[in-house]
Amino acid sequence: MELNVIYFYTVAILNWQHLLESDKFKMIVIDSLKHLVKENKLIVYGFVIMPNHIHISLENKAMNGKEMPHASFMKFTGHAFLEELRGTNNPLLDNFKVDRYSRKHQFWQRRGLPIIMYDRKILEQKLDYIHFNPLQEHWRLVSDPNDYYFSSCSFYELNDNRFDWLTHYMDVF
């Protein structure tokens, strides 16, 4: 991923496990995104946090030290997940053990899927996909996309500013 390019980015929890069912882990994701936005490293246009994956429409704005902001996001959230599971002696931690020289635990799958948003129409299609994801038949998390708290839907549809760190895509396109 490059700086100053808008992406639709999807990344899943290792082996599609449902780590993100817990609001505690969803808030780790939110807090990390919020921090990178406040530090002017990242712009987030939309997101949804599903039980085992996330979709984010984002733009890397500036390096975070030697890392791209999305890489810092992945690293920080992984460390925070580890700390939370260790601190609560959660047996779920065993599901994330890996046999690698660089780490003992892994939470995110190795490669997320970044898709460049070339124009407004594609970005709008991806935002619709993001916002309607909790309604998909195999999830059925809510009946109205605005009711799913861990999504940017109500930011766009209801002018809800609980996620006031988001940037409206029409401010850019």
User: Is it true that domain 6-171 has CATH number 3.30.70.1290?
Assistant: yes
For residue 110, what pLDDT is reported? 84
**Cα 87-21-74 angle, rounded to 5 deg:** 65
pLDDT tens string 72-88: 999 999 999 999 999 99
- Percentage above 70 pLDDT, the chain: 100
Task: Name the residue type at position 166.
Answer: L
Q: In this structure, are residues 72 and 64 in contact, taking their beta carbons and an 8 Å threshold?
A: yes
Kindly report, residue by residue over 57-76, the tens digit of the pLDDT. Answer: 999 999 999 999 999 999 99
Residue 3, helix vs strand vs coil: strand
- Give the residue carrying structure tokens 């970005």: 123
- What's the predicted TM-score (pTM) here? 0.94
Question: Domain boundaries in the chain?
Answer: 6-171
Give the pLDDT band of residue 54 (cuts 50, 70, 90).
very high
